[in-house]
Structure 1
Amino acid sequence: MSRVCDLTGKMAMAGFNVSHSNVKTKRKFYPNLQLQKFYIPEEDRWITLKVSTSAIKTINKIGITEAINRFVKKGYL
């Protein structure tokens, strides 16, 4: 599976490891993704999403249905 958040669309960024002698080698910065199950009471079912920790905090604050609606409205889904 790809390392992309299902809700926010966060993905890996490219960057460099920089040594003491200032030699640069390519590396990637991966987002903190977690597999999480959420219950949607309107549909009376569970869904499993791979979401970033910032998306989990947003879901805990506003609820799963409102979070999905906001992300759809912004164009992430």
Structure 2
Amino acid sequence: MSRRCELTGKGVLTGNRVSHSNIKTRRRYLPNLNTVTLTSDTLGRSYRFRIAASALRTVDHRGGLDAFLMKARDEELSGRALDVKRDLVKAQASA
């Protein structure tokens, strides 16, 4: 399982740990990933995603999973999230 947010694509960043004597060693900045269950109102079912805490706040701000996925770019979404988005588009087209 990769350390990447399934909704925003946020992943591991690298940088330097700098000591008091200015010695630089490489370090990793890990995203704050949480496993959450989000409910789709249109599809009427729940989905489990491993997303960043900032993405969870964005989902709430945009009005839920459906609104977030419809506004998100396909390049940022994981394969599972892209499948959910395709199902949403089909459901909204048939309704």
Q: Alpha-carbon deviations, 1:11-49, whole Å to 9, x = none? A: 010101111111111100011111110111211111001
State the alpha-carbon separation in 1 of the partners of residues 59 and 7 from structure 2.
Answer: 10
Q: How does 1:19-58 map to 2 (within 5 A)?
A: 19-58=19-58
- Amino-acid identity (%): 34
Gap runs ≥5 in structure 2: 78-95
CA RMSD of superposed structures (Å): 1.2
Gap runs ≥5 in structure 1: none
Q: Matched residue of 1:14: which SS?
A: strand
How many residues are paired up?
76
State the alpha-carbon separation in 2 of the partners of residues 55 and 65 from structure 1.
Answer: 14
Query: Runs of 4 or more off by more than 6 Å in structure 1?
Result: none
Structure with a larger share of its residues in helix: 2
Q: Matched residue of 1:72: which SS?
A: coil
